[in-house]
Structure 1
Amino acid sequence: DKSIYQNTQVMTYEELLQATCDESGEDLDHPENSEQLAIVLYTSGSTGIPKGVRLPHATLVNRLQWQWRELPFRDDERFCVFKTALTFVDSAPEIWGALLMGRTLVIIPKQITKDPERFIGMLEKRKIQRLVLVPSLLKSMLMYLEMM
């Protein structure tokens, strides 16, 4: 139901697929540079109004290069998880760190990550080999595993 998005331009997957089929296969003539905007993340709004933080491509690439250097993928690591809110700074490297290295990204809904039993079951079912966790989520998972 697109009505929930009010005046925002929204496309369904099917509309996007059709739009791409209508385009030519030619490369776009669009010069880019490392200081162009890559993403906008929003603060928690602790002052009452969330503020947008603009991150250029150079910042995102720097973070990804650090991640790949310090935490390289093993050849047998194929499946990774995306479970972080898109407004959180770690969502971008969680998505692009895996995809740009040719890994499969499994999207896990928030209602599953909040339930350690279901979350661990999903990790096993999907054969997840790489996972980034905040300490509180790791703690809840470890507590659940200790009870088993």
Structure 2
Amino acid sequence: MFYQMENESDEELTPIEVGLNANGSSVAMVLYTSGSTGVPKGVRLSHRAVLNRLAWQWATFPYQKEEVCCFKTALTFVDSISEIFGPLLTGHPLVVIPKAITQAVDELVNVLERESVGRLVLVPSLLRTIILHRSDPQAPKLKNLR
């Protein structure tokens, strides 16, 4: 049974799309666009699409045996999917970093060092900030980060 929320379109998801009869075409998640055109839109991601992305990631950037990963991306951003499920589905530990810490580079670098994080996904501006922070002789050197 599907419940329709007020203002929701009449388009109903099929049982396959919601996973009652799951297959590769079933909807794994719905991510919403930023609404830069005025109205946010839900984008359905299939299990096949998510697993294809993860398989590419595992083949292209294989994890090291003892590698520790971190999750710091907003759940509404598509990269959060591979940042969460990439390591967890391969049995690698995942350090969850709160948004407040990601906004304070000194705290972020300290957490990355303390938790021996070897992999993280980041935008160029954050990479630049981390590199500048590491230039301080007193800053942690992030020896495990590849």
Question: Shorter-chain TM-score: which interval?
Answer: 0.7 to 0.9
Structure 2 stretches lacking a partner, 5+ long: 6-19, 138-146
Say whether the 8 Å CA contact 2:57–2:86 is kept in structure 1: yes
1:81 aligns with 2:70: yes
Equivalenced residue count is: 119
Partner Cα distance (2:92, 2:80) in 1: 16
The alpha-carbon deviation at position 147 of structure 1 amounts to 3.7
| Match 2:48 to one of 41, 58, 62 | 58
Give CA deviations for 1:46-102 in whole Å, capped at 9, x if unaligned: 12221111100010001000000000011121x210000011010001000010000
SS in 2 for 1:80: strand
Matches within 5 A, 1:121-140: 121-140=110-129
Partner Cα distance (1:111, 1:36) in 2: 35
Equivalent residue, structure 1, for 2:13? none
Partner Cα distance (1:83, 1:74) in 2: 20
Say whether the 8 Å CA contact 2:66–2:92 is kept in structure 1: no
- Give 4+ residue runs of structure 1 displaced > 6 Å after superposition: none
1:43 aligns with 2:59: no
Equivalent residue, structure 1, for 2:86? 97
Partner Cα distance (2:126, 2:29) in 1: 26
Give CA deviations for 1:104-146 in whole Å, capped at 9, x if unaligned: 1111011111111000000111111211111111111111112
Equivalent residue, structure 2, for 1:11? none
Amino acid at match of 2:69: C
SS in 2 for 1:102: coil
Equivalent residue, structure 1, for 2:60? 70
Comparing 41-50 and 90-99, the one that deviates more: 41-50
Q: Percent identity?
A: 51
